[in-house]
A and B are shown apart, each in its own frame.
Chain A
Amino acid sequence: MTGSVVFRKAFLVLAAAALAAGTAVPPALAQVKGGVLRVGNLGEPPALDAHWTTASITETLTNHIYEGLYSLDKDKKPIPMLAEGHTVSKDGLVYTFKLRQGVKFHNGKEMTSDDVVASLVRWGKQSIYGKALFAQVTDVKAVDKYTVDLRLKEKSAIVLISLAVPNNFGAIYPKEIAEKFEPAVKATEYIGTGPYKLAEWKPDQYIRMVRFDDYKSRNEKPNGYGGGKTAYADEIRWVPVPEVATRVAQVETGELDFADDLNLDAYDRIKKSTAARPIVAKPYYWLVAVFNKKEGLMTNQKLRQAWQAAIDIEPIMKTVAGGKSEFYRMDSSLAPVEITAWHTKLSGLPWNERNKDKAKRLLQEAGYKKEPIRFMTTQEYKWMYDFALLTKQQLEDVGFNIDLQVVDWATLVKRRNNPKEYDAFTTGIGAAYDPTHHVYLTAAWPGWNNDETMLSISAELARETDPKKRMALWERQTRLFYEKVPVIRYGDLFGMRAARNNVKGFDESNERLRFYNVWLEK
């Protein structure tokens, strides 16, 4: 970033703050560059190739290195990032993207349409969001140095949101890298346009990112995951600390400035600390039991409905959240409150019914004869095990016979792909920014939602561009969800992180960590 841009931004922030507070001492004065921000996280990323994996740790790290054409604002709606903007042809079949000029990669090369085309083609073959979008795409081509055309087979509602999702996202790589690594092979050269560039990666020790001095920020204010980005810290050092108690201790002692993925039982301890503060990470996950709808007992819809009728969600959520109301939320909407565009408030849904009689009746109608239901969970994520255990108890109260199978996470993610090996499994559903991004509603994801009506609504949602009609479809989809019960939606669980008091500017409303626009107070 150039000095003049910094000065202009600083002046704007000062002026805005002075106007808002009516005071001559704006807080923006405290923003300082420098220092090493040390962040303790759970583990090592499987890759730093944003196209290649859906792992959330990869998402967090790569969003500091790379950028996509679009990003998400504070309401989780698409806003331009590397794109200046776009136009859509009258027939809705051609999206023309104008790129920002003068944006440089970390290797000094200017980003142009050739890089965008090569990156999007690779992303469209590997990423789950890219594949979904490219199923509708016929062609993507460079019109000139700063213009890209995306041609569609049919009208699409998911172009911008797909380009904006931060997970498994459409990161723009230099053409040479995008073409060098086949989509199924993870890229091992890490050149992006983001405010930080990768300096060193020592597995199980640290990942060092340093400020990219030639970063060209947008002129807008920071907004959600997008807007203006300033790299205040000279360096971000991501330190994998697998033991959660150690992460808590290190943020207390000051060996870490920030710690992520903490156990909720550390909340009171950190709250009492004079050096650090706890942060509630929302929305984190909604808890879910996913049914195998391809084979076995749970192909019986009545049985799934009986499960839904039997469970009492609040005590489950309370236990999973360590008894702290700050860490869970009771909500039936499939999109969390934070995703304002798709959060629904529908009445009369059979969610959290706690109706044992109805459950027993449904079991009878299902012809269920106490056959064991194989319910797979893991102790690697304590919250999954806890909610599976409590679910088992509640279900057995009404006559289910639950065979709780506790395996490690690697085993669970393998076995859930084989319909012969289970009837239900636990997992968490993270934020999906569009109705078409809810994986449990697709036929490809484990559990295999094969309900034709729901699949046709999903397809319609991908095509329909009128926002009102889309919302009506989504509400219909939500009602069908509670009737067909492809999975059980429990409550929203929140995560916990902690920051030292000298960490300033951290946007707590973002679900995932972002450390641009964050500075260390001296």
Chain B
Amino acid sequence: MSSYLLRRVLAVIPVMVVVVTIVFFLIHLIPGDPVAVMLGPEATPSQIQAARAGLGLDRPLHEQLFTFYARILRGDLGHSYFLDRPVTRALAERAEPTIVLTLSALFVAVAIGVPSGIVAAAHRGSWWDRGLMFLSLLGVCIPGFWLSLNFIFLFAVRLGWLPAAGYASIWVDPRTALTYMVLPAVSLGFNQSALIARIARSCMLDVLQQDYIRTARAKGLSPGVVTYVHAFRNALVPVVAVIGITTAILIGGAVVTEIVFNIPGLGRLIISAILRRDYPVVQGVVLVTAAAYVIINLLVDLLYAFIDPRIRYD
């Protein structure tokens, strides 16, 4: 197991180098100039030129790339042109909202998706099954931003139950933080619950047709014990894989949710950074997000072995 873990961790390095290099070239090859954006619409070319030189943007691209690599090796992701602070600091400031949003949405997605899948499978062909699968179909089809805006209109503007947008830190004011997080977590989580529900249903149906389930039923065990004790754990491995993928998708999906609900997280940061052509920030966010993807995948692999002791990596 430990040699597997080491191999996986080492494999992260080339992945990150490739990701960082591609992102560096992509963002630099897109036309657009951070300085022109910062100096405003009436800036003259000479003003722009002077400021470009000040930021080192007039140097050849390969020189900028090597400087970037050298900085990363020192743990320095560079300095944001626009925010005027180290990228690591900008990322640290915005990590909490994104982590809280992702975990809350994941909780909602799992809390809706897994029970829906189990109930639908246990009552296959019934109105429960059809109703829950119809809801999950809606979850897949409804665009996240549309759902978010309608949630705001209904629960904040019309009913006044929850704030329309904003963010409060859970460490400072947990109660307020919860009220701010309900709508974004539900709108983001509901979309993703659909995939989990469908996979959970399908896996449960596979397991429920196995011989040992028939044996359990023949022994006279109650349907609840058969479903939740005997079938559920064996159906869990693919569900965990989907939850892992969902976590990664949620990090990406959080971009739209963060914009609509005005949450100052990494998603909002990268959108602003792309529009402003704030190259170091774009590179920093992509680097961190790529690392998060790789780590989540690794954790999911390790979780397989925990859930199903038959799985061995050595």
Binding site for B on A (CB under 8 A): 43-44, 46-47, 52-56, 58, 126, 128, 167-168, 182, 184-186, 188, 202-205, 239-243, 245-246, 249-250, 252-253, 255, 380, 407-411, 413-415, 417, 427-428, 439, 444-446
A249 in complex: contacting residue of B30, B50, B165, CB < 8 Å: B165
Is B230 part of the contact surface with A, judged by Cβ < 8 Å?
Answer: no
Is there contact, CB below 8 Å, between B39 and A55?
yes
Known interface pairs A128-B44, A204-B94, A243-B260; A414-B164 also in contact (CB < 8 Å):
no
Task: Label chain A's interface by main secondary structure.
Answer: loop
B268 in complex: contacting residue of A186, A242, A413, A414, CB < 8 Å: A242
Docked Cα-Cα span, A239 to B261, in Å, equals: 13
Known interface pairs A53-B40, A185-B54; A409-B47 also in contact (CB < 8 Å):
no
- The interface residues of chain A lying within 8 Å CB-to-CB of B164 are 246, 249-250, 252-253, 255
A44 in complex: contacting residue of B53, B82, B262, B277, CB < 8 Å: B82
Which of the segments B17-25, B152-160, B195-203, B208-216 contacts the partner chain?
Answer: B152-160
B interface, size bucket: 35 or more
Is there contact, CB below 8 Å, between B42 and A168?
yes
- The interface residues of chain A lying within 8 Å CB-to-CB of B48 are 417
Starting from the known contacts A168-B42, A202-B264, A428-B41, 16 additional A-B residue pairs (CB-CB under 8 Å) come to A46-B82, A53-B40, A184-B47, A188-B84, A203-B90, A204-B268, A246-B164, A246-B165, A250-B262, A255-B163, A409-B275, A410-B32, A410-B277, A411-B32, A427-B41, A439-B42
A417 in complex: contacting residue of B30, B45, B85, CB < 8 Å: B45
Binding site for A on B (CB under 8 A): 30-34, 36-48, 50-51, 53-54, 82-85, 90, 93-94, 149, 152-153, 156-157, 160, 163-167, 259-262, 264, 268-269, 271-272, 275-277
- The interface residues of chain B lying within 8 Å CB-to-CB of A186 are 38, 84
Is there contact, CB below 8 Å, between A246 and B45?
no
Known interface pairs A43-B272, A255-B164, A410-B275; A417-B47 also in contact (CB < 8 Å):
no
Give chain A nearest CB distance to B15 CB in angstroms.
Answer: 29
A253 in complex: contacting residue of B94, B163, B259, B268, CB < 8 Å: B163
- The interface residues of chain A lying within 8 Å CB-to-CB of B40 are 46, 53-56, 58, 168
A-B contact pairs, 24 of them (CB 8 A): A53-B40, A54-B43, A56-B40, A58-B40, A184-B50, A185-B54, A186-B84, A203-B83, A203-B90, A205-B264, A239-B262, A243-B165, A245-B149, A246-B164, A249-B165, A252-B164, A408-B32, A410-B275, A410-B276, A414-B31, A415-B31, A427-B41, A439-B42, A445-B42
A184 in complex: contacting residue of B41, B54, B93, B269, CB < 8 Å: B54
Docked Cα-Cα span, A239 to B47, in Å, equals: 29
Is there contact, CB below 8 Å, between B42 and A414?
no
Which 5 pairs, one residue from A and one from B, show the smallest C-beta to C-beta distance?
Answer: A54-B40, A410-B32, A46-B38, A55-B40, A414-B33
Give chain A nearest CB distance to B149 CB in angstroms.
Answer: 5
Is there contact, CB below 8 Å, between A126 and B47?
yes
Is there contact, CB below 8 Å, between A410 and B36?
yes
Docked Cα-Cα span, A58 to B43, in Å, equals: 13
B275 in complex: contacting residue of A250, A408, A446, CB < 8 Å: A408
Docked Cα-Cα span, A168 to B40, in Å, equals: 10
Is there contact, CB below 8 Å, between B262 and A241?
yes
- The interface residues of chain A lying within 8 Å CB-to-CB of B166 are 250, 255
Give chain A nearest CB distance to B87 CB in angstroms.
Answer: 12
Docked Cα-Cα span, A199 to B82, in Å, equals: 19
A407 in complex: contacting residue of B31, B93, B153, B260, CB < 8 Å: B31
Give chain A nearest CB distance to B150 CB in angstroms.
Answer: 10
- The interface residues of chain B lying within 8 Å CB-to-CB of A413 are 32-33, 36-37, 41
Is there contact, CB below 8 Å, between A54 and B41?
yes
Is there contact, CB below 8 Å, between B50 and A46?
no
Is there contact, CB below 8 Å, between B47 and A253?
no
Docked Cα-Cα span, A243 to B148, in Å, equals: 12
Is there contact, CB below 8 Å, between B277 and A53?
no
- The interface residues of chain B lying within 8 Å CB-to-CB of A414 are 31-33, 36
Is there contact, CB below 8 Å, between B38 and A47?
yes
Docked Cα-Cα span, A155 to B149, in Å, equals: 58
- The interface residues of chain B lying within 8 Å CB-to-CB of A47 are 38, 84
Q: Which single residue of chain A is at the shortest CB-CB distance from B33?
A: A414
Give chain A nearest CB distance to B53 CB in angstroms.
Answer: 8
Is there contact, CB below 8 Å, between A249 and B156?
yes
- The interface residues of chain B lying within 8 Å CB-to-CB of A204 are 94, 264, 268-269, 272
Give chain B nearest CB distance to A429 CB in angstroms.
Answer: 9
Docked Cα-Cα span, A414 to B48, in Å, equals: 10
Is there contact, CB below 8 Å, between B157 and A253?
yes
Is there contact, CB below 8 Å, between A46 and B260?
no
Is there contact, CB below 8 Å, between A184 and B51?
yes
Q: Which single residue of chain A is at the shortest CB-CB distance from B167?
A: A205
Give chain A nearest CB distance to B72 CB in angstroms.
Answer: 23
Q: Which single residue of chain A is at the shortest CB-CB distance from B94?
A: A204
Docked Cα-Cα span, A415 to B42, in Å, equals: 14
Give chain A nearest CB distance to B221 CB in angstroms.
Answer: 52
Docked Cα-Cα span, A425 to B268, in Å, equals: 29
